């Protein structure tokens, strides 16, 4: 495959990515935190028992947003991948080019492309990738154009391991806050973070730690909590219970992240990378994933509702677009609009 690229074989055309607006005044220098939530699929809404299991947590997430002066809009998009190959979702979003197979991905990576990362850097953003699952060289980082990449070694987690990836998502977010977002007198930050704690087989699930500063210590959990998490091995014939526990943990962690003290306003974009494997999603499941956008910027959220996003955590079920189309939709909504009049954060 790489040889094909170097020798010029198999050269199907890859279209140009979208053009981005010249100014993003609707967010006006706010930090942007983009989180790809591993295995967060439409099945969490489509299967009634899954939706019921997560309904309270989703309601709590929305309450946490409102309590911190933020509001939420949501929608569904169609992912280019199903059950795995998360990087195809990442590259499709960050370039605005649909990438559904590894051959296209390799050819795209061999080109010099403008990405969302380089576009935001050109608008004064410091761009960082927080990669809790990254344990080796990541050439994609150079392609995307990040100013800084935090891998497992640089994140320096000192606590106990959970499953196949040692770093809990809450620690990765806490370290992002500590290393980048809590600093004063700085440029706005664009942070990209793919989670790992909700990866198959979804267990052991880390406990949520109410004290975020404690996550940065060598003992982030009480021993009893840690042992309880490891006491639930995966049931490979029925992964649904462990999947739901991991999704509940992800939403609890992301909701807690909204309440951390801020030196700047923040826009948080949560995207499912793909549906969980068919053993969880079920036969005939769609390739759709949820998107939640959290912000205090009224014009930005209004522009998204015009594009079909729903207020709150329960979007209309039909997908609004394919995932690669989401990036230009979000950036175009970041341009200030003269229209006003919809409720602000928490005004319902």
What is the CATH classification number for the domain harbouring 121?
3.40.720.10
Q: Is-contact 251 61, C-beta < 8 A? A: yes
3 state SS of 269 = strand
* pLDDT computed for residue 337 by the predictor: 62
Provide the CA 86 distance to its chain's centre, in angstroms: 11
Confidence check: pLDDT of 3 > 60: no
* pLDDT computed for residue 341 by the predictor: 38
Report the C-alpha gap between 109 and 121 in whole angstroms.
19
Question: Does some domain include residue 173?
Answer: yes
Residue with tokens 């040889």: 3
* pLDDT computed for residue 233 by the predictor: 79
Give Cβ neighbours of residue 101 (< 8 Å, ≥ 6 apart): 88
Task: Give 162's DSSP letter.
Answer: B
**Residue 338: burial class (beta carbons within 10 Å; 0-12, 13-18, 19+):** exposed
Confidence check: pLDDT of 10 > 50: no
Name the pairing type of β-strands 71-78 and 310-311.
antiparallel
**Residue 138: burial class (beta carbons within 10 Å; 0-12, 13-18, 19+):** middle
Question: Does some domain include residue 73?
Answer: yes
Count: domains in the chain = 1
Question: Does some domain include residue 21?
Answer: no
Per-residue model confidence as pLDDT tens digits over 209-233: 999 999 999 999 999 999 998 888 7
User: Two tokens at 259?
Assistant: 């309440």
Averaged pLDDT for residues 225-246: 89
Report the C-alpha gap between 73 and 297 in whole angstroms.
12
Question: Does some domain include residue 347?
Answer: no
Report the C-alpha gap between 157 and 346 in whole angstroms.
36
Residues in the chain: 348
Q: Is-contact 202 239, C-beta < 8 A? A: yes
User: Helix 323-333 crosses helix 86-95 at what angle (to 10 degrees)?
Assistant: 40
Using alpha carbons, list the distances in angstroms from residue 231 to 86, 147, 162: 28, 40, 12
Confidence check: pLDDT of 234 > 90: no
Quick one: which of 96, 82, 13, 98 has its CA closest to 41? 82
Question: Does some domain include residue 298?
Answer: no
- Average pLDDT score over the chain: 90
Q: Is-contact 199 158, C-beta < 8 A? A: no
Report the C-alpha gap between 198 and 176 in whole angstroms.
19
Residue with tokens 């209309």: 316
Using alpha carbons, list the distances in angstroms from residue 156 to 85, 137, 167, 215, 296: 26, 17, 9, 12, 32
Listed range (6-15, 25-34, 118-127, 325-334) with the worst mean pLDDT: 6-15
Confidence check: pLDDT of 8 > 50: no
Confidence check: pLDDT of 28 > 90: no
Report the C-alpha gap between 313 and 6 in whole angstroms.
45
Confidence check: pLDDT of 192 > 70: yes
* pLDDT computed for residue 23 by the predictor: 77
Report the C-alpha gap between 114 and 24 in whole angstroms.
17
Question: Does some domain include residue 25?
Answer: no
Question: Does some domain include residue 17?
Answer: no
Enclosing domain of residue 88: 30-279+303-308+317-333
Per-residue model confidence as pLDDT tens digits over 286-297: 999 999 999 999
Averaged pLDDT for residues 239-266: 96
Averaged pLDDT for residues 312-332: 96
**Residue 117: burial class (beta carbons within 10 Å; 0-12, 13-18, 19+):** buried
């Amino acid at each position: 495959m790489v040889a094909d690229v170097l020798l010029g074989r198999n050269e199907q055309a890859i279209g140009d990515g979208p053009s981005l607006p010249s100014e993003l005044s609707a967010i006006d220098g706010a930090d942007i935190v983009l989180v790809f939530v591993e295995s967060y699929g439409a099945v969490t809404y489509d299967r009634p028992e899954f939706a019921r299991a997560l309904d309270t947590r989703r309601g709590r997430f929305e309450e946490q947003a409102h309590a911190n002066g933020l509001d939420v809009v949501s929608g569904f998009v169609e992912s280019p991948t199903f059950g795995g190959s998360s990087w195809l979702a990442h590259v499709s979003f960050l370039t605005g080019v649909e990438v559904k197979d590894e051959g296209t991905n390799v050819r795209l990576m061999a080109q010099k492309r403008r990405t969302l990362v380089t576009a935001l850097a050109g608008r004064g953003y410091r761009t960082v990738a927080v990669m809790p699952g990254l344990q080796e060289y990541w050439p994609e980082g150079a392609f995307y154009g990040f100013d800084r990449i935090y891998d497992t070694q640089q994140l320096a987690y000192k606590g106990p391991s959970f499953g196949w990836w040692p770093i809990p998502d809450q620690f990765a977010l806490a370290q992002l806050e500590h290393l980048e977002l809590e600093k004063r007198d700085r440029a706005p930050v664009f942070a990209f973070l793919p989670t790992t704690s909700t990866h198959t087989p979804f267990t052991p699930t880390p406990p949520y730690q109410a004290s975020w500063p404690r996550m940065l210590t060598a003992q982030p959990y009480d021993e009893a909590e840690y042992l309880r998490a490891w006491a639930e091995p995966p049931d490979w014939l029925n992964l649904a219970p462990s999947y739901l526990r991991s999704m509940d943990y992800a939403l609890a962690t992301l909701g807690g992240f909204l309440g951390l003290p801020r030196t700047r306003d923040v826009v948080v974009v949560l995207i499912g990378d793909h549906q969980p494997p068919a053993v969880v999603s079920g036969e005939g499941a769609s390739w759709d994933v949820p998107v939640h956008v959290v912000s205090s910027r009224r014009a930005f959220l209004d522009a998204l509702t015009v594009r079909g996003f729903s207020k709150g955590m329960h979007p209309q079920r039909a997908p609004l677009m394919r995932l690669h189309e989401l990036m230009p939709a979000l950036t175009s909504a970041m341009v200030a609009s003269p229209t006003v009049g919809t409720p602000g954060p928490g005004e319902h």
